[in-house]
Structure 1
Amino acid sequence: MSPRAPASARRITDALLEECGRTYAQEAGIRLRDTPQPLYQLLVLSHLLSARIRASVAVAAARTLFAHGMRTPRRMADATWQQRVDALGEGGYRRYDERTATQLGEGAHLVLDAWGGDLRRLRREADGDTAVLRSGLQRVPGVGPAGADIFVREVQEVWPETGPWVGEKGLRGAERLGLPASPDALADAARGRDRAVFAAALVRAALDQDVVDAVREAARAR
C-alpha cells in the first residue's frame, strides 16, 4: 500500500479541484453514462481534443456538432460532409475542418460496422485490458494515441477498470503543481475524489500557467 499523501499534496489537490474541477466531457455538455450515445459523444470530443488546437475550441466544436444533431454514429454518418464542415466551422474548428469532417464520417461508419454503434462492445472486447481498449479506439480514423488517452482519462469513472489514469499531460501538470509525478502517488492524493475530474484538472494545469499560479496561491492560503 502506498503511503498517504502529505498534507501539502492534499492542499494542492483540494485547491486544484476547486479551481478547475470539471471534465472536458462536462464542459462539452456530455452527461457521461454507460450508454451508447454519451460514449460516442466522448469519442467525438476525444478526437477533436487530440488535434493541435486549443481545448476550448475543440469543446465548442463538439457542442456545435451535437447541437446540430450529430450525437450518435448513425446521425453523424447520415450527415453530409458539408454539414459536418459547417458545424465544425461554426464551433471555431476551422484549421482542420475539412479533414476532420471526413474522419468523423469514416469513424461513425467504423463504430457502426465494428461495434453496432455501441462502444460498450469494445469495452467487452478489451475485458479490462486498457492497452486493448486503446488499440481498439485507435482503429477509429482521427483517433490516435492522444485521442485514445483522452477517452480513457475521461471515461474512467464510468468504466472503473480503465483507471486510475492521468496520461502524460496529467503527469506534466502534476510536476508543474509540485505534486508527486507518479500514478500511484497521484492516485493516493486524489483518494475519494472523482478520478476523471482530477485527471482533467491536472491536464488544465499542464496547459495553462495561470491555473498553476492560482492553485499554488489557493493552496498556500489553506
Structure 2
Amino acid sequence: MSKEIALKVDKVLNEFGRSPLHGTRLANPPTLDARPEIVLAMVIDALIKARPISHELTQKTIKTLIEADYHDIDVLSNSTWDDRTMVLEDGGYNRYREQCATNLDGDLNNLLKQANGKPEKVKLLLKEVKGIGDLAAEVFLNNVQSVWPSIAPFIDSRSLKAADEIGIGTNLNQIYKILDQDPVRMSWFANGLSEVRLEKRQDVIEEV
C-alpha cells in the first residue's frame, strides 16, 4: 500500500470529510443510526442532491425539509402536495418544487432486508421510488453505509473518478483498509470526495 495514497485519503477525510446529513440537526454521530426516519432523511438528501442546483441551495433545501420533519414517515404521509411544495419553496427550491414535492411520496421499510444487504440490489430497489435515478441512488449509498455497514465500502461513481484523478485510485478495498474498515469513516470520506469535486479543490490533494 502506497504511503502517498494513505496520506491523500487522510487529507480528504480530515479536511473535506462530511457527516451524512451534514448541515442538519441529524448530522451529529449520536443521532445517526438505522432508524426509519434517518434512512428516509438520507433518501430526501439524495433526491435533492441529484438535482442540477447549486451546492449552497441544495444544503438549504435539505435543512428546511428536515426542520419540517419530513424525514418522519407519518409527517410525510399526512402532508399534502401543497404542503410539500410550500416547504420546498421556503427552502429556496423553486425551479423543481412541484416535481420534487410529488417525488417525496414513498416508503423504504425493509429495503435493506429485501436486498439481502447487497449494494447493487439496494440501488435497484431504491430506483423504484419515483424520481430516484442512478445518481440519487449512489448519493444515498454514500451516506447509508454509515448505518447499514453491509453497504460499505461504497463511493459514488463521480467521486470515485475524482479519487482516481487525484492519485488515490479506485480500489475500494484498499481505501477501506486505510480507513480501518470503518463504515462511518468510509461515508465521511465518500462525502469528502464530493466536496473536493464540487469545490474544485483537487489541487490541494494532488500536492500531497
Q: Would you say same fold, with TM above 0.5? A: yes
TM-score tier after normalising by the smaller chain length: 0.7 to 0.9
1:204 matched to 2:195? The reply is yes
CA distance in 2, matches of 1:176, 1:208: 15
Q: Which runs of 5+ in 1 are unaligned?
A: none
- Largest Rg, 1 or 2: 1
Paired residues in the alignment total 202
Question: In 2, are the aligned partners of 1:173 and 1:204 still within 8 Å (CA)?
Answer: no
1:164 matched to 2:160? The reply is no
SS at match of 1:188: helix
- Give the letter for the 2:188 counterpart: V
Aligned to 2:3: 7
- Within-5 A mapping of 1:60-209: 60-104=60-104, 107-108=105-106, 111=107, 119=109, 121-192=110-181, 194-209=185-200
Question: In 2, are the aligned partners of 1:34 and 1:158 still within 8 Å (CA)?
Answer: yes
CA distance in 1, matches of 2:165, 2:93: 29
TM-align CA RMSD: 1.9
1:16 matched to 2:12? The reply is yes
Aligned to 1:213: 203
1:64, distance to aligned residue in structure 2 (A): 0.5
Question: In 2, are the aligned partners of 1:37 and 1:71 still within 8 Å (CA)?
Answer: yes
Question: In 1, are the aligned partners of 2:17 and 2:193 still within 8 Å (CA)?
Answer: no
- Give the letter for the 1:199 counterpart: A
Question: In 2, are the aligned partners of 1:65 and 1:88 still within 8 Å (CA)?
Answer: yes
CA distance in 2, matches of 1:141, 1:173: 28
CA distance in 1, matches of 2:199, 2:192: 11
TM-score (norm 1): 0.82
1:157, distance to aligned residue in structure 2 (A): 2.2
TM-score (norm 2): 0.87
1:198, distance to aligned residue in structure 2 (A): 0.7
Q: Which runs of 5+ in 2 are unaligned?
A: none
1:27 matched to 2:18? The reply is no
Question: In 1, are the aligned partners of 2:145 and 2:154 still within 8 Å (CA)?
Answer: yes
1:55 matched to 2:51? The reply is no
CA distance in 2, matches of 1:48, 1:204: 16
- Work out the percentage of aligned pairs sharing the same amino acid: 23
Moved over 4 A (4+): none
1:61, distance to aligned residue in structure 2 (A): 0.8
1:131, distance to aligned residue in structure 2 (A): 1.9
Structure number having the greater helix percentage:
1
1:187, distance to aligned residue in structure 2 (A): 2.6
1:216, distance to aligned residue in structure 2 (A): 4.1
- Give the letter for the 1:149 counterpart: E
